Structure 1
Amino acid sequence: MTAPLRPARPADAPAIAALHAASWRFAYRGALSEHYLATDVEADRLALWTQRLQSPQPPAGQHVIVAAEGDRLLGFVCAYPGEDPQWGSLLDNIHVSAQAHGAGIGAQLLAAVADHCAAACADAGLYLWVLQSNLQAQRFYAAHGAANVQADQWDAPGGTRVPTFRFAWQAGALPVSGRPKPPRGAPA
């Protein structure tokens, strides 16, 4: 399945926030505070996305893409090209609605944001942080060519400290299509 992609607009903030909160409630259960997930996550994500889409900081650095069918948000991705001198562009968020899981929307969003980051910073890699408990996400990134390069901790909203992994793509090896890259040396 492919979905129409477009840049996010300020009016998308409520739908993005709702999808972000739903995704965290599913994937981060047991990692983030149950109280936070049950009560504060929606308001917190709405405040974040309202601010990000109405007055991004820095305005030129943030890139948010949505996948939508009509008024229905299927997924979104947010990146900051060239954010880190060593690791390159930060893939800060990528979330797909539960109804669209397995339909290729995540791969489509990943490829689109990687293309944007490569165009903005040709000599930079791409990286993101993944919860160590989120095995599904780790498999997704590894299948699309990312390597697990570092362990760390995230001081998460709601007061928890969560173990994370940094997954990264080197410059020139960013995902460029909706299909995983073949291993090095394998025929394409």
Structure 2
Amino acid sequence: MVFVREMGEADIETVSSVRIASWRAAYAGMVPQAYLDGMSPEEDVRVRRERFARRDGGALDLVAESGGVVVGWLAMGPCRDPDAQAGDGEIYALYVRPDVIGTGAGHALMDAALAAAKERHLRRLLLWVLEDNARARRFYGSAGFGMDGTRSMWEVGGTAVPELRYRLDLS
């Protein structure tokens, strides 16, 4: 059984661990391996702590627990895209530990995010996904998201990686 709750400060180290393990598993072959190998748990914890401390109420971090252990993390908030409209939200990140993919943790996080978006009266949610990440693209498609035709290049470790923007209309 997966339980979703708001992330607390005590979850930061575990969330960093989930994020790094997920990046290394999901993005192998899509971003430079040297970048993945060089990801620092200590640096990630530092960044997460800074972001957690300066949350302004617009951002929401959720964690998924299974058996009392954090196995996933989702971050969302106001859309950061320059063409964002009033009522647009964005899912910034959704990661689950590689060993729990397919157990429902990702779907539980997404369901909670969609409920939160509706409570916030958002009219649509956007997210960015790597063009070559077929698994994530299928997952977002199954949650009702679709490509909106916007493509961007994201610089990771000195390499330009193509991303696609997905959108879900909530109204």
Answer yes or no: same fold by TM over 0.5: yes
Who is 2:91 aligned against?
91
Tell me, in whole angstroms, the C-alpha distance in 1 between the residues paired with 2:25 and 2:122: 35
Who is 1:115 aligned against?
115
Pick from 64, 67, 74: which aligns with 1:67?
Answer: 64
Who is 1:179 aligned against?
none
Letter in 1 for 2:57: A
> For 1:118-143, what per-residue CA distance to the aligned partner results, in whole angstroms no more than 9, with x for missing partners?
211x2420010000110000001111
2:2–2:104 CA contact under 8 A, matched in 1: no
The alpha-carbon distance between structure 1 residues 100 and 40, as it changes in their structure 2 partners (threshold 3 A), is: closer
TM-score, L = length of structure 2: 0.88
The runs of at least 4 aligned residues of structure 1 exceeding 4 Å deviation read none
Report how far residue 70 of structure 1 moved. Answer: 5.1
The percentage of counterpart residues that share the same residue type is: 26
Tell me, in whole angstroms, the C-alpha distance in 2 between the residues paired with 1:32 and 1:106: 22
Q: Please list every run of 5 or more consecutive structure 2 residues that lacks an aligned counterpart in the other structure.
A: none
> For 1:54-75, what per-residue CA distance to the aligned partner results, in whole angstroms no more than 9, with x for missing partners?
222xx11110011113552111
1:129 counterpart = 2:128: yes
Tell me, in whole angstroms, the C-alpha distance in 1 between the residues paired with 2:159 and 2:144: 30
1:23-38 equivalence runs, <5 A? 23-38=22-37
Report how far residue 113 of structure 1 moved. Answer: 0.9
Tell me, in whole angstroms, the C-alpha distance in 2 between the residues paired with 1:148 and 1:100: 26
Q: Please list every run of 5 or more consecutive structure 1 residues that lacks an aligned counterpart in the other structure.
A: 173-188
How many aligned positions are there? 167
Bigger share in strand: 2
TM-score, L = length of structure 1: 0.81
Report how far residue 43 of structure 1 moved. Answer: 3.7
